[in-house]
A and B are shown apart, each in its own frame.
Chain A
Amino acid sequence: MSKIPRSFRLLEELEKGEKGFGPESCSYGLANSDDISMTNWNGTILGPPHSNHENRIYSLAIECGPNYPDEPPKVRFISKINLPCVDDKTGKVIVDKFHTLRDWKRSYTMQTLLLDLRKEMATAANKKLVQPKEDATF
């Protein structure tokens, strides 16, 4: 397999996001539709069922730097959430505490990231964590 350059990878991800091929539980799109560098993205995660996140919609900011996808994006929750891998002051997802970022692979996408965060919310250890009131932001 040859290495698809950053921008064409991001265009593929954008088209996938726009066409809605992605799973219904997550979505993402460009934060600014004329950002030719395609750096800043918005993501949402629908809280998983049978957890304290059920029916909540979480907003995230995703930053794909110049070395994406060789390096993972920077991810920050905008909606307040109580999760061990999320910094409780800034909302940043802590790389060392979240396996998808820590063991990032080039084949991972923003969809991988959002779905894995959603799984993280639903683990036995995390699903019953007390959550801040809905609609609060970092």
Chain B
Amino acid sequence: MASLPKRIIKETERLVSDPVPGITATPHEDNLRYFQVTIEGPAGSPYENGIFDLELYLPDEYPMEAPKVRFLTKIYHPNIDRLGRICLDILKTNWSPALQIRTVLLSIQALLASPNPNDPLANDVAEDWIKNEQGAKNKAREWTELYAHKKN
């Protein structure tokens, strides 16, 4: 494989030496641009007590282009679709090379704490969220029970 840019090495080292609370990111041994990620559901959210698996890939153009991130655990959330794709501005038009893997993962954790049904990716979920917030949150809690790992 082509040598890894210094910036990626530094970011990876810092993720290990100074991890973000509630988040892990481990590069695959055979592809150091490809990370296995876990995010704990934020306290007070319907995702509380669940641990969600994600995958993250740094394309060749990184950091000029945003990382690619997707949920591997099924999740009921208006900004995350059935294939785990995430609707988050910094992953698309608002990406800046000043952002990092760390900031991306923190933003995803924040998205779990405050879903934004007015900018939906999963339209049916967003509609549910707007019409019947309590019911939607209950369903999100059920899915967390069903599909996410349990926090010990």
Using a CB–CB cutoff of 8 Å, the interface residues on chain A facing chain B are: 1-5, 7-8, 11, 14, 33-36, 38
Contact = CB atoms under 8 A, between A and B. Distances in A.
15 contacts: A1-B60, A2-B2, A2-B31, A2-B33, A2-B58, A3-B1, A4-B59, A5-B55, A5-B57, A11-B68, A11-B85, A33-B82, A34-B83, A36-B82, A36-B83
Interface of B: 1-2, 31, 33-34, 55, 57-60, 68, 70, 72, 74, 82-85
A5 B34 contact: yes
Do most interface residues of chain A lie in helix, strand or loop, or is the interface mixed?
loop
A21 B104 CA distance: 29
List the 10 closest A-B pairs by CB distance, nearest first. A34-B82, A8-B68, A5-B34, A2-B33, A8-B57, A5-B57, A2-B60, A3-B31, A36-B84, A36-B83
A8 B57 CA distance: 8
B77 to A, nearest CB: 14
A40 to B, nearest CB: 13
B129 to A, nearest CB: 18
A34 B72 CA distance: 12
Contacts of A5: 31, 34, 55, 57
Given A5-B55, A11-B68, 20 more contacts: A1-B2, A1-B60, A2-B31, A2-B33, A2-B58, A2-B60, A3-B31, A3-B34, A4-B57, A5-B34, A5-B57, A8-B55, A8-B70, A11-B83, A33-B83, A34-B82, A35-B83, A36-B72, A36-B83, A38-B83
Nearest to A4: B57
Contacts of A1: 2, 60
Contacts of B55: 5, 7-8
Contact of B1 (A2, A4, A8, A35): A2
Nearest to B69: A8
Given A2-B2, A34-B83, A36-B82, A7 B60 contact: no
A3 B29 CA distance: 13
Contacts of B74: 36
